[in-house]
Amino acid sequence: KQEVTQIPAALSVPEGENLVLNCSFTDSAIYNLQWFRQDPGKGLTSLLLIQSSQREQTSGRLNASLDKSSGRSTLYIAASQPGDSATYLCAVREETSGSRLTFGEGTQLTVNP
Amino acid sequence: DTAVSQTPKYLVTQMGNDKSIKCEQNLGHDTMYWYKQDSKKFLKIMFSYNNKELIINETVPNRFSPKSPDKAHLNLHINSLELGDSAVYFCASSRGVWRSSYNEQFFGPGTRLTVL
């Protein structure tokens, strides 16, 4: 059974810092990995999708990497801003699970001005 | 606006009642999903439909019944509501299924269900 773990559970940083969020998964037979952002009381916003054949994806100040064989992904946020404060979730889609995503429990990020 | 929409946003009801949550997507996607986010913020798949056909049915009480009248809609009906059903329910959609590169999932804003 696939398990997704995110470390740390919570992170508080001053504005302007570069930071890394970690995601690990137990079964490396994944089709892709997706990073989401969830603001309090809101839905999920898709940030980046990495196919299993890719090593990284970039969007603006965000860079996500994937090491499928070791079961790890990182989300790098450059020059963090208070508006980046949210919960960040990673989710994997397994090769044999149809379309379902298996989520980690998230990292709650606070960027202090 | 192109999006995944859900109604209602908030639903407060008594134990034992039957309620429905509606979901619609105008993204032209073929696959729709229901996820449940519990009090610990953990998201878990419940159901998935592709072109109105059920393809994922997790271990969910049979009081929960999804219905897809067409591929743009996936509604969730819950019978005999229990306290433990209180959670936020998210609808999502994606263009493809199985071995498809178009599998990015887009989520609705969620429905916060509170059972008293």
Q: Which of B9-18, B44-53, B105-114 has the lowest mean pLDDT?
A: B44-53
Which of A100, A107, A109 to mutate to probe the B interface, most B CBs <10 Å?
A100
Residue contact B48–A99, C-beta within 8 A = yes
Contact status, residue B45 vs residue B74, Cβ threshold 8 Å: no
Residue B80 CA from chain centroid, whole number: 18
Q: Which of residues 39-58 of A touch B (CB under 8 A)?
A: 41-46, 49, 51
Cα distances (angstroms) measured from residue A21 to each of A10, A12, A63, B50, B52:
10, 12, 11, 33, 37
- Residue B101: what pLDDT? 54
Report B:13-42 residues touching A (Cβ under 8 A).
31, 33, 35, 40-42
For B107, the closest of A32, A44, A49 (CB atoms) is A44
The answer to whether A35 contacts chain B (CB < 8 Å) is no
- Interatomic CA distance for residues A26 and A5, integer angstroms: 9
Locate tokens 């995503």: which residue?
A101
Q: Do A80 and A13 meet the contact criterion of CB atoms below 8 Å apart?
A: yes
> What is the per-residue DSSP string for A46-91?
EEEEEETT-SEEEETTEEEEEETTTTEEEEEE-S--GGG-EEEEEE
Which chain B positions have a beta carbon within 8 Å of A100's beta carbon?
33, 45, 48, 56, 58
A71 has pLDDT over 90:
yes
Contact at 8 Å (CB) between B69 and B51?
no
- Residue A90 CA to residue A97 CA, distance in Å, equals 17
Half-sphere exposure of A8 (CA within 13 A, CB side): 9
If you average pLDDT over residues A1-7, what whole number do you get? 93
pLDDT in tens, B58-105: 778 899 999 999 989 999 999 999 999 999 999 999 886 655 555 788
Work out the mean pLDDT of chain A and round it to a whole number: 92
Q: Looking at the complex, does the CB of residue A59 fall below 8 Å from at least one CB of chain B?
A: no
